């Protein structure tokens, strides 16, 4: 059966087909649009109507109805900052405040290089929306190996795509040769889709400046050779950089205006940066050298269609609370104190690993940033060490860790008091030695 595409979708597609975004869209992405329905009509009414009888909310004397028990929990917010629906793309002040913060944190990023960020209910949701827009069944998404296990669930299980792992490390740094090989192999199809996550989960690694230069060159060369490139920057742990040699700006700053055939997407938010995990707020920003006002608006409407057709909008009070955090003069000092706390734990782990002989069945992966570090489980004197078996044995000793398959064990030092780190890591070493 032939499905007739909505004229609004066709209109957006015609705009996006002039750059890299259109040919990269999935079948679902091409069908999506933002309807001129309830949300759009309500927005018009808010601007001009004397009496607004649009959205499904209840008002009295110009204020939304709000239970007093709820109002008492939000003494710093007005009723319209708590209970009303947020716009599909997010509260305007929330979006502009975040764009301002991105420009401050990434000095080489220019305002015209990227779109006004669109709000999403968490970074996971943001990645999932981009997968909906740009990934079809059978297509390939490149990702580092190891990688966050949710990538497989989002890209492979939800979208039916193939996640191809790029061996992330060679010796004590990034395996640039493996990235080059993977990009060249995918470029043969004319299209490359890749997700980069730094600081990396689960390894806790961020590229050095030289490695970032190499990755940028590879992406640029791939596009210059004729391929369209979709590069996703999962910046969930942005800002937690503990060593001088690491980059301190997002790779998105390099990709946003790199080449006309590169579409860069930044998925980030205050979740880890501002220590508000449960608020579930995030942002999606697009960047491309071919970006202009028309294509930016079309991309936003496509994304709004994905949001409107799933959760409708992100959480309203979370957005206003985050704005207050961003504007709070005390926040910078508190965040610096939190950063120091995490950096000291990182250094305690580094110190332990440097001063103690690691069992032959364990190999610490390179780490220099973020929340985590990971061990690769290898062959020991008594056989190959299994990460899940190691996790279970550690649990019996009262220590919780994460096994990623049978090969990797992730340890979240950010969640551990510094004084407990030697005991925990000694237990990991001893248990690994006992098992293999």
> Would you say the CATH fold of 332-435 matches that of 7-34+88-327?
no
Q: How far apart are CA 421 and CA 436, in angstroms?
A: 23
- For residue 265, the surrounding DSSP H or E stretch is strand 262-268
Q: How far apart are CA 67 and CA 345, in angstroms?
A: 43
What pTM did the predictor assign? 0.95
Q: Average pLDDT in the 366-380 region? A: 97
Q: Average pLDDT in the 162-167 region? A: 98
Q: How confident is the model at residue 42 (pLDDT cuts 50, 70, 90)?
A: low
Q: Average pLDDT in the 399-428 region? A: 98
Tens digit of pLDDT for each residue in 278-330? 999 999 999 999 999 999 999 999 999 999 999 999 999 999 999 999 999 99
Tens digit of pLDDT for each residue in 203-249? 999 999 999 999 999 999 999 999 999 999 999 999 999 999 999 99
Q: What's domain 332-435's architecture?
A: Alpha-Beta Complex (3.90)
Backbone angles phi, psi at 232, to 5 degrees: -100, 130
Q: How far apart are CA 313 and CA 319, in angstroms?
A: 11
Question: Do 206 and 239 form a contact (C-beta atoms < 8 A)?
Answer: no
What pLDDT does 62 receive? 86
Domain extents for the chain?
7-34+88-327, 44-82, 332-435
CATH code of 7-34+88-327, in short, is: 3.40.640.10
What pLDDT does 4 receive? 85
pLDDT at 28 over 90: yes
What pLDDT does 37 receive? 64
Q: How far apart are CA 379 and CA 127, in angstroms?
A: 35
Nearest to 335 by CA among 391, 251, 275: 275
Question: Do 187 and 222 form a contact (C-beta atoms < 8 A)?
Answer: yes
């Amino acid at each position: 059966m032939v499905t007739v595409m909505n004229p609004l979708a066709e209109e957006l597609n015609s705009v996006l087909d002039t750059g890299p975004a259109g040919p990269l869209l999935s079948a679902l992405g091409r069908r999506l649009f933002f309807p001129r329905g309830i949300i759009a009509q309500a927005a018009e009414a808010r601007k001009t109507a004397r009496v607004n009888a649009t959205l499904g909310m209840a008002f009295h004397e110009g204020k939304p109805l709000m239970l007093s028990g709820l109002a008492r929990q939000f003494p710093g917010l007005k009723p319209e900052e708590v209970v009303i629906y947020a716009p599909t793309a997010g509260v305007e002040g929330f979006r502009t405040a975040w764009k301002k913060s991105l420009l401050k944190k990434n000095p080489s990023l220019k305002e015209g290089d990227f779109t006004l960020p669109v709000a999403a209910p968490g970074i996971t949701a943001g990645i999932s929306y981009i997968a909906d827009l740009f990934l079809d069944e059978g297509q390939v998404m490149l990702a580092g190996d190891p990688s966050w296990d949710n990538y497989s669930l989002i890209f492979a299980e939800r979208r039916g795509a193939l996640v191809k792992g790029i061996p992330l490390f060679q010796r004590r740094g990034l395996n640039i040769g493996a990235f080059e090989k993977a990009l060249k192999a995918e470029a043969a199809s004319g299209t490359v889709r890749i997700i980069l996550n730094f600081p990396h989960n689960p390894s806790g690694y961020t590229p050095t400046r030289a490695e970032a230069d190499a990755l940028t060159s590879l992406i640029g060369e791939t596009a210059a050779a004729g391929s369209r490139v979709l590069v996703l920057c999962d910046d969930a742990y942005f800002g937690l950089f503990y060593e001088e040699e690491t980059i301190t700006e997002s790779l998105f700053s390099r990709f946003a205006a790199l080449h006309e055939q590169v579409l860069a997407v930044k998925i980030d938010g205050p979740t880890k940066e501002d220590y508000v995990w449960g608020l579930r707020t995030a942002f999606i920003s697009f960047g491309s050298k071919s970006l202009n006002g028309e294509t930016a608006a079309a991309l936003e409407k496509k994304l709004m269609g994905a949001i409107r057709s799933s959760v409708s909008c992100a959480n309203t009070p979370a957005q206003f609370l985050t704005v207050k955090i961003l504007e709070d003069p005390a926040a910078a000092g508190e965040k610096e104190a939190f950063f120091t706390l995490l950096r000291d734990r990182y250094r305690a782990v580094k110190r332990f690993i440097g001063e103690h002989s690691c069992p032959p069945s364990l190999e610490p992966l390179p780490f220099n940033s973020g929340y985590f570090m990971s061990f690769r489980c290898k062959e020991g004197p008594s056989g190959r060490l299994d990460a899940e078996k190691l996790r279970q044995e550690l649990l019996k000793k009262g220590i919780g860790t994460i096994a990623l398959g049978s090969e990797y064990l992730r340890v979240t030092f950010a969640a551990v008091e510094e004084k407990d780190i030697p005991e925990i890591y000694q237990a990991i070493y001893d248990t690994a030695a006992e098992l293999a």
